[in-house]
Amino acid sequence: MVIVVGGMIGLGKTSMANLLGEHFNTEVFYESVDDNPILPLFYTASEEEIEKYRYPFLLQLHFLDTRFSSIKSALYHDKNILDRSIYEDWYFAKINNDLGRISDLEFQIYERLLNNMLEELEGVPKKAPDLMVYLKGSFETVLSRIMKRGRSYELDASLKAYYQKLWEGYDEWVMTYYKASEVLIIDMDKYDIVNNEEDAKTIIKLVEEKLAFKNM
């Protein structure tokens, strides 16, 4: 059993991954955030610095490298949880390409590398996750939770347009383009798994039911 937790920035992927990891008594592979040297530069750089140093492209390469390592390790074992995975990387790269922060040539190079990595995954014992737990929510909830967790480099008001661009197309990407596994959609406007124990139990039940149905 491999579960991917996906969704918009700020909606609680790490908390969800922790909840599932505890329940299923398994390892959690976390997204490279606190140890990521490029992420603060990506959020705080001026347009001139982005143009010169190509931080969005470098950030996507960093995430691609770390996610590939995580998903390879996860797919070699019976039970693991992934706090986001390599499958969502393309969406973030595409949005930055649409915004002109990643050039068309950089995006082509990125796509070739991603496709090569996904082909390599065909050789591991388990070829794909069993389930994606996809967290969705209103844009107001996204902004509120980003502010609440208080990472200083995520709080600049100028980032609101970037977050909105990501948010606007995320549901469509999951429903239209994500094909690696079954998807369980969790509306984070309705659930608070950190502060409400009953909500956490409900989510666990939904995940178990989805996995059981898949294995019927």
Spatial separation of the C-alpha atoms in residues 65 and 70, rounded to whole Å? 9
Tokens of 36: 């990521």
Residue 171: active-site member = no
Catalytic residue among 83, 104, 156, 192: 83
Catalytic residue set: 83
